């Protein structure tokens, strides 16, 4: 239900004073099922894991080497252009490396402009051979990619050396490219890996890529890999063992673990029925939890999750409730805590008076004894 009063909450959700509206939601199995939609990204689910072809395609910017062999001497490519030893009765020439132009083509003498972008080297070889028919003596062509500029990825962020990294013919995975860039600069438990491919982006903790081989996927040309150091924390307030900003690993923590991190629920101070988590949920998630909420349409909805930790069933739910960065964990005071605190203050104030009375009484008794 939507609330429009101050966030001074008891276990019953009672509030006072006007502030920003929010939704009060009791944690349950259906709620957890909706929250699972906001679970951590998966690189494999987002992009798949398709090993690249063993034979790379040529792209714009790649440097290409073309070697042409003829069956007999005296052809177009015999003479001074011959590089290295050749077999008797045959001649060859190797063209200087040249980049593939913006039009996707290279120039081959006597063959003209040959379109190569998006093709395999073996296909280009056949194209050049056909273009030289009738000009060269039974030409045979070998095409190699000497510098695969187009088959590279960009890696940036918290690595020793951000760069444009060429991909090998066998294919490179995320950890391969991070290692090529010099490895991480920060602690792995605070680091995220963010992959952008086209108009799609996904992010996972670095420890997940390390521990789950399925997340260590193959990269593709023009991928952008960002290694981000983002320490995660939640705020603990109320009747907790420590009111503080509490860090946790990038892999995440559950509500049960968060409560344990702050010293647990205090026996005489806290109300186990009044455990709350304050969070802004994206509209897509809030719509699943509160379809008719008047707060929808603003991009994010303030939601207060409530869970009764005195119920054994809810302890299991707390083990499945995932905390997020900047969540606020609030544990309300026990209904008897203020009364107990007041009585303690009264006792503390009366103790000196009682001591004085006791001393006075003892002094009077000694005086009476000495007079006798």
**Cβ(307)–Cβ(214) below 8 Å:** no
pLDDT in tens, 15-24: 445 545 899 9
Determine the CATH number of domain 63-147: 3.30.1950.10
- DSSP single-letter state for residue 136: B
Contacts of 77 (CB under 8 A, 6+ apart): 68, 69, 70, 91, 92, 93, 136, 139
The whole-number pLDDT of residue 6 equals 45
Contacts of 301 (CB under 8 A, 6+ apart): 22, 23, 280, 281, 282, 283, 286, 290, 293, 295
Determine which of 50-59, 194-203, 350-359 has the lowest per-residue pLDDT on average: 350-359
Q: How many angstroms separate the CA atoms of 203 and 363, rounded? A: 78
pLDDT band at 357 (very low <50, low <70, confident <90, very high): very low
Chain centroid to CA 31 = 23
Alpha-carbon distances, residue 217 vs 181, 191, 294 (angstroms): 17, 17, 42
The whole-number pLDDT of residue 176 equals 95
- Show me where the domains of the chain are located: 2-39+251-333, 43-52+151-229, 63-147, 336-372
Half-sphere exposure (Cβ direction) of 332: Cα atoms closer than 13 Å: 24
Burial category of 67 from C-beta neighbours within 10 Å (exposed 0-12, middle 13-18, buried 19 and up): middle
Burial category of 73 from C-beta neighbours within 10 Å (exposed 0-12, middle 13-18, buried 19 and up): middle
Q: Which H or E run includes 237?
A: strand 232-238
Domain 2-39+251-333 shares a fold with domain 43-52+151-229: yes
Determine the CATH number of domain 2-39+251-333: 3.10.560.10
Q: Is the pLDDT of residue 236 over 50?
A: yes
Alpha-carbon distances, residue 26 vs 11, 115, 214, 333 (angstroms): 11, 64, 35, 18
The whole-number pLDDT of residue 275 equals 94
The whole-number pLDDT of residue 342 equals 42
pTM above 0.85, yes or no: no
Torsion, CA 7, CA 13, CA 16, CA 21, rounded to 10? 50
Contacts of 351 (CB under 8 A, 6+ apart): none
Residue 299 in tokens: 């991009």
Q: Of 153, 197, 225, 169, whose CA–CA distance to 52 is shortest? A: 169
Q: Of 192, 305, 290, whose CA–CA distance to 258 is shortest? A: 305
pLDDT in tens, 306-330: 999 999 999 999 999 999 999 999 9
Q: Of 168, 141, 164, whose CA–CA distance to 154 is shortest? A: 164
The whole-number pLDDT of residue 352 equals 52
**Cβ(306)–Cβ(14) below 8 Å:** no
Q: How many angstroms separate the CA atoms of 317 and 30, rounded? A: 11
Q: How many angstroms separate the CA atoms of 282 and 301, rounded? A: 6
Q: Is the pLDDT of residue 255 over 90?
A: yes
What value does the mean pLDDT of the chain take? 83
pLDDT in tens, 97-151: 999 999 999 999 999 999 999 999 999 999 999 999 988 888 999 999 998 888 8
The whole-number pLDDT of residue 81 equals 43
Determine the CATH number of domain 43-52+151-229: 3.10.560.10
Q: How many angstroms separate the CA atoms of 149 and 101, rounded? A: 12
Q: Is the pLDDT of residue 80 over 90?
A: no
């Amino acid at each position: 239900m939507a609330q429009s009063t101050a966030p001074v909450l008891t276990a019953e959700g009672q509030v006072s004073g006007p502030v920003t509206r929010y939704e009060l939601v009791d944690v349950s199995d259906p709620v957890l099922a909706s929250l699972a939609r906001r679970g951590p990204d998966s690189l494999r689910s987002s992009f798949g894991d398709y090993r690249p072809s063993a034979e790379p395609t040529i792209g714009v910017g790649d440097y290409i080497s073309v070697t042409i062999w003829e069956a007999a001497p005296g052809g177009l490519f015999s003479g001074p252009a011959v590089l290295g030893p050749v077999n008797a009765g045959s001649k060859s020439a190797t063209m200087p490396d040249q980049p593939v132009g913006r039009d996707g083509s290279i120039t081959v003498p006597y063959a003209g402009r040959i379109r190569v972008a998006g093709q395999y080297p073996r296909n280009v070889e056949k194209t050049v051979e056909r273009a030289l028919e009738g000009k060269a003596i039974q030409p045979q062509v070998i095409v190699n990619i000497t510098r695969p500029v187009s088959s590279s990825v960009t890696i940036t962020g918290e690595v020793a050396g951000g760069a444009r990294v060429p991909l090998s013919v066998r294919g490179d995975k995320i950890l391969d490219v991070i290692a090529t860039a010099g490895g991480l600069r920060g602690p792995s438990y605070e680091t995220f890996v963010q992959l952008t491919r086209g108009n799609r982006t996904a992010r996972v903790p670095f420890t997940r890529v390390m521990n789950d081989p399925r997340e260590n996927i193959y990269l593709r040309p023009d991928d952008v890999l960002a290694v981000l150091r983002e320490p995660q924390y939640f705020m603990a307030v109320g009747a907790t063992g420590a009111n503080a900003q509490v860090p946790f690993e990038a892999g995440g923590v559950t509500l049960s673990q968060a409560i344990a991190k702050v010293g647990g629920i205090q026996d005489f101070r806290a109300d186990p029925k009044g455990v709350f988590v304050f969070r802004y949920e994206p509209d897509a998630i809030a719509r699943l939890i509160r379809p008719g909420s008047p707060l929808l349409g603003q991009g994010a909805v303030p939601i207060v999750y409530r869970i009764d930790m005195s119920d054994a069933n809810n302890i299991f739910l707390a083990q499945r409730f995932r905390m997020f960065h900047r969540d606020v964990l609030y544990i309300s005071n026990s209904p008897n805590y203020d009364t107990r605190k007041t009585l303690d203050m009264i006792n503390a104030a009366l103790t000196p008076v009682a001591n004085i009375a006791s001393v006075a009484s003892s002094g009077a008794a000694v005086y009476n004894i000495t007079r006798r």
